[in-house]
Structure 1
Amino acid sequence: MNSDAIWQNEYPFTSRWHEADGHRYHFISEGAGDQTILAVHGNPTWSFYWRNVVQRFSDSRRVVAVDHIGCGMSDKPQEYDYCLETHAANLSSLIEAEDLRRITLLAHDWGGAIGLLALTKHVDRFERIVLLNTGAFPPPYVPWRIGVLRCPVLGPLAIRGLNAFAGPAVTMAMSRRSLSPEARAGLLAPYKNWADRVAIDRFVQDIPMSPSHRTWQPLERLEAALPSLSHLPTMLIWGMKDWCFRPECMDRIKKSMPHAQTVPIADAGHYVMEDATEEVLDSIDSFFQSTDAPSATSATSHPST
């Protein structure tokens, strides 16, 4: 990716590597301190999505952002068990290898389910949860624009051959504004060809449409486990113009985690971190300040903003 100078100034971080499931698992780790932000991306993004979080918070906390196998700068094996539980196991292995503690989970899209599954294996290492436009349950619907890409043969041809998922996302996942040329180039940089897009396609195929799908039951178990996390202060930040993880997804998580604060951003889309950068960062900052305070005992709901 040396030719992509247009975006590299926005991602001036040192690459680190972890062996996960026999492959190189890329992550960045910036900053220091006894608290860690663990940033977990979804599909079809990568750790670049979290660059502004690193810039904002690495002066006071350690910020670790991962690339799932098949994504970003991680290895992209063509024959691999790409599924929710494998991604969660890889993340768990990094948590253990880096001995991460006092973690705030920061997750978006598929990163929510992946991160929360890993959290349930290491609850004692986590202090907070911040979720952005995600799901933690079997999907109640699949948008038609994604459903058509699940068709055998034609789906992979479109996603991997024509870049019909990552390519349109840089436009369709925004609502308030357009991505800058640097952000657009950065988000697309790791996904240049058929081989590079293998995990993007497999994420789409891993969306469970019925209880017989291998990922349905892990998502059911995850949703059932959410109430047990009520001791962890939680914030839900949502781009309300998201046509994929629509507002009812936020409401469904809220039913299982009624202690969670909610920050709906009325005119932001699915890439809420890109669409409403300052609002998201300021909300996270305020959340940290309120939950770091000695008098803070737990997060409570506040009126919609």
Structure 2
Amino acid sequence: MRILSRAPGSRHLTPPTATLPEQDERHAPAWAAALGDQYPFDSHFMEVEAGRMHYADEGPAEAAPMLCVHGNPSWSFLFRRQLQGFAGEMRVIAPDHLGCGLSDQPERWSYRLADHVQNLVRLIDHLDLWNVTLLVHDWGGAIGLGAAIQRPERIGRLVITNTAAFPSNLMPGRIGLCRVPGIGRLAVQGFNAFARAATFMAVERPMPRAVRRAFVQPYARPRSARATWHFVDDIPMDARHPSWETLTAIAAGLAVFQDRANLILWGEKDWCFTPAFREEWERRLPGAECHPIPDAGHYLFEDAPQDIERHLRAFLKAEDVL
């Protein structure tokens, strides 16, 4: 994996210079280098207010872009197959939210939904993306749709996978335990329990050991697991929560995408984003093409990669993107 810098709005790549900040050394940690062929993508970074935001960017500069937005506790590794499988025909971009993957992990930052949204808006503007296929998963739904609502003219179509971008009173017990004061943070951030558990609980098919390690390693130390805890803490269940207003505004803005060609792919055995969430998406995006995947869990990209590839490719061909 190489570290590259990119000028705003440019596909020209330049090697880093000796004057790069000392913190940049963290962008090539040993665990990332050990991924080898599992994550063979060049690393790019964009400055945001609280640090440097990492993103993979593969494919021809002139091709229609696919922007893949991950959730918690994953990172751009989740979309490695899209980065490889579609890069010959599209420009595939997969960022890591601040605090996640190969991005900086600032100690003093809000980690609130609104700020993640603004970082993604900056990336869309920074890369000057148009006719975007926006693929979202988990927290990536609220973040990605939050950014899309601010830049609707740049979004061509949505691909919705096991996510929400609207309030819900459904809180799985396993998530609720992670929010118990004191104990929850100790488990999630102190012992990386959330990321570790997800590699077993979010799939129906056992992950290979190397894949489990790739999902867990970015958050292996308490200081690098801040984001996983803050994402759990930032789930707004009522109007008293700091992110409630942000989420309700995103939900209200979803209607602007009803006239687009949209695709819903759903792992039906997800115990967190259950089929009830899929049904809500179908109500909010009437006319969307929908493919429930019966034997896939929350990490449907791991459980059913061939189904994802087939449905996504057919959808993009029908949209004349491929």
Q: TM-score, normalised by structure 2?
A: 0.88
1:74 aligns with 2:103: yes
Query: Does the 8 Å CA contact 1:234/1:260 hold for their aligned counterparts?
Result: yes
1:4 deviates by: 5.6
Give me the whole-angstrom Cα distance separating, in 1, the residues matched to 2:133 and 2:321: 15
1:126 deviates by: 1.0
1:7 deviates by: 2.7
Equivalent AA in structure 1 for residue 246 of structure 2: P
1:67 deviates by: 0.3
Aligned partner of residue 9 in structure 1, secondary structure: helix
Structure 2: give runs of 5+ residues left out of the alignment: 1-28
1:139 deviates by: 2.2
The aligned residue for residue 141 of structure 1 is 170
Equivalent AA in structure 1 for residue 107 of structure 2: Q
Q: How does 1:103-142 map to 2 (within 5 A)?
A: 103-142=132-171
Aligned partner of residue 262 in structure 1, secondary structure: strand
Aligned partner of residue 157 in structure 1, secondary structure: helix
1:45 aligns with 2:78: no
Give me the whole-angstrom Cα distance separating, in 2, the residues matched to 1:261 and 1:183: 30
1:66 deviates by: 0.3
Give me the whole-angstrom Cα distance separating, in 2, the residues matched to 1:215 and 1:65: 24
1:223 deviates by: 1.7
Query: Does the 8 Å CA contact 1:15/1:27 hold for their aligned counterparts?
Result: yes
Structure 1: give runs of 5+ residues left out of the alignment: 295-305
Q: How does 1:23-62 map to 2 (within 5 A)?
A: 23-32=51-60, 33-62=62-91
Larger CA deviation: 227-236 vs 99-108: 227-236
The aligned residue for residue 304 of structure 2 is 276
1:258 aligns with 2:277: no
Pick closer, same or farther for the CA change 1:132–1:56 going to 2, 3 Å: same
Query: Does the 8 Å CA contact 1:34/1:101 hold for their aligned counterparts?
Result: no
Give me the whole-angstrom Cα distance separating, in 1, the residues matched to 2:286 and 2:129: 27
Q: How does 1:227-242 map to 2 (within 5 A)?
A: 227-242=255-270
Give me the whole-angstrom Cα distance separating, in 2, the residues matched to 1:30 and 1:293: 16
1:39 deviates by: 0.5
Give me the whole-angstrom Cα distance separating, in 2, the residues matched to 1:4 and 1:19: 21
Q: Please point out which of 217, 223, 246 is paired with 2:251.
A: 223
The aligned residue for residue 191 of structure 1 is 219
Superposition RMSD on alpha carbons, in Å? Answer: 1.4
1:265 deviates by: 0.3
Pick closer, same or farther for the CA change 1:5–1:73 going to 2, 3 Å: closer
The aligned residue for residue 63 of structure 1 is 92
Deviation string, structure 1 residues 13-54 (Cα, Å, up to 9, x no partner) = 000000112310000100013300001000000001000001
Aligned partner of residue 189 in structure 1, secondary structure: helix
Q: Relative CO higher for 1 or 2, CA cutoff 8 Å, sep ≥ 6?
A: 1
Aligned residues: 293
Give me the whole-angstrom Cα distance separating, in 1, the residues matched to 2:32 and 2:104: 19
Q: Please point out which of 225, 233, 237 is paired with 1:209.
A: 237
Query: Does the 8 Å CA contact 2:46/2:53 hold for their aligned counterparts?
Result: yes
Query: Does the 8 Å CA contact 1:7/1:185 hold for their aligned counterparts?
Result: no
Give me the whole-angstrom Cα distance separating, in 2, the residues matched to 1:266 and 1:171: 18
